[in-house]
Amino acid sequence: MRLTILAALLAGLIAGLLGALIVVVALDNDDDDSTADALTALETRIDSLREAQQAAAVRDDVEALFETVRPTVVLITTEFPDGVDDQGRTISRGAIGTGVILDDAGHVLTNEHVVRDALRIELRFHDGSIRTAELVGDDRPFTDLAVLRTDPDGLAPAIFAPSGALRLGDPVFSFGNALGNGAALALGIVSNPDARFFGPDQSNRQDYVQTDAAVNPGNSGGPLLNTAGAVVGLVTQVVTSTSDGQVVQGVGFALGTDRVLPIAERIIAEDGDFPRPDFGVVEQQSLDDFIAEQLGADRTEGAFIIEMLRSSVFADAGIRPGDIIISLNGFMLTHETPYFHVLQQLTPDRAVDVVYVDEAGEEHLIEVVPVLRQR
């Protein structure tokens, strides 16, 4: 840990006060009130200076970490197709986020929801320069991960570390374009290294690193860092309230590097595709008591099919919108283990037993073969 001039001066002051303390004890060894008061005052002053010295050194370390990591992070701005407001006026739409430079070939990691349907993606670098990027591929809806590619000239790839090494209470930093105000660093701890929570679009329950480090709009896709400045996760979302309206604070989630990096490498190797099984479901809803009542379903567990491709594995097998998938290869579909969470355990081109209930309430067991997902 390097010391600033301030820290060095504080060290000198502490040494001087320690010397004064020794002199006081040597000159007056009587146990009178004046000597006791002087000793107490000196000890209090020494403690205060030690705390200030430690704070100066920590601040110096954090600043050094920020400057080291900053060239490996990009601030993302996206443009989307124009929309229409409530008064029928055409409005421009865009979003902000953050990305992490993966390698010197120009690949950048971010969250899929940051760049979804974007017409244009711009990356702002630490020196103020701006480059455009293109989407290589993503893993929606299984993982909120997208891989971008930009001009590789002069890029500084981030250093990555295993997220599996994180422990409860480990200090971590969130780094990103918080609220679009530029690069910002926030300190927190690992609240849960093995949290499971729904992704931003609520379609899949994913494994996360939970942290209380500040996460705000614009942080999405940015790095979660350990104290060495290595990336241990991609900041993905923050929870601010529960489904019943209760306010929540300090609950942020990051996708761990142990999950993200193998998927990103495969996306790059497969030129944008990650091999996932597909039955042709476009939209589905995990059932619980409340949702079943809203949808008029007579089951409180399973995946309620809302929309599917007309030409697909499920459609060819007789499954229709309004049917409920109960299990896939023996894996029960529940609110805790939803459809896409179970689907990612399957392998394309291998037969799967499917139990489903049709709209008439009749239960069926069929065998189907999922195809390779087409993007």
The 10s digit of each residue's pLDDT in 163-193 is 999 999 999 999 998 888 888 899 999 999 9
Taking phi first (over 0 means left), then psi (-120 to 50 degrees means alpha), and beta for anything else, what does residue 275 get?
A: beta
Q: What letter would DSSP give residue 138?
A: E
Which residue's structure tokens are 């309620």? Answer: 304
Candidates 138, 139, 144, 258; catalytic one: 144
pLDDT of residue 38: 63
Query: Rounded CA gap, 346 and 352, in Å?
Result: 8
Which residue's structure tokens are 């300090």? Answer: 250
The SS3 assignment for 22 reads helix
Active site residue 341: no
**Residue 207, C-beta contacts closer than 8 angstroms, at least 6 positions apart:** 194, 195, 196, 255, 256, 259
Closest by Cα among 343, 355, 197, 202 to 275: 343
pLDDT of residue 334: 87
Candidates 220, 286, 312, 327; catalytic one: 220
According to DSSP, the residues that pair with 123 across neighbouring strands are 76, 131
Q: Taking all residues of the chain, what is their mean pLDDT, rounded to a whole number?
A: 84
pLDDT of residue 87: 80
Taking phi first (over 0 means left), then psi (-120 to 50 degrees means alpha), and beta for anything else, what does residue 20 get?
A: alpha
Closest by Cα among 94, 99, 74 to 82: 94
pTM value is 0.74
Candidates 113, 191, 312, 327; catalytic one: 113
Amino acid at site 209: V
pLDDT of residue 181: 81
DSSP assignment of 273-328 equals ----EE--EEEEEE--HHHHHHHT-S-SSSEEEEEE-SSSHHHHTT--TT-EEEEE
Query: Rounded CA gap, 224 and 320, in Å?
Result: 42
Angle between helices 5-27 and 33-69 (to 10 degrees): 160
Which residue's structure tokens are 């690949």? Answer: 107
Active site residue 144: yes
The SS3 assignment for 59 reads helix
Q: What is the mean pLDDT of each run of 10 residues along the chain (375 residues)?
A: 43 49 50 63 63 56 91 95 80 89 97 94 96 94 94 96 95 90 90 77 72 90 95 88 66 93 94 87 88 86 92 94 94 86 88 94 95 80
109 with 157: CB under 8 angstroms?
no
Convert the pLDDT of each residue in 2-15 to its tens digit: 434 444 444 554 45
208 with 236: CB under 8 angstroms?
yes
Q: Which value, to the nearest 10 degrees, does the dihedral of the CA atoms of residues 271, 276, 279, 283 take?
A: -90
212 with 174: CB under 8 angstroms?
no
State in Å, rounded, how far the first CA of the chain is from the last one: 49
C-alpha angle 140-343-330 in degrees, rounded to nearest 5: 165
Find the length of the chain: 375
CB atoms within 10 A of CB 257: 27
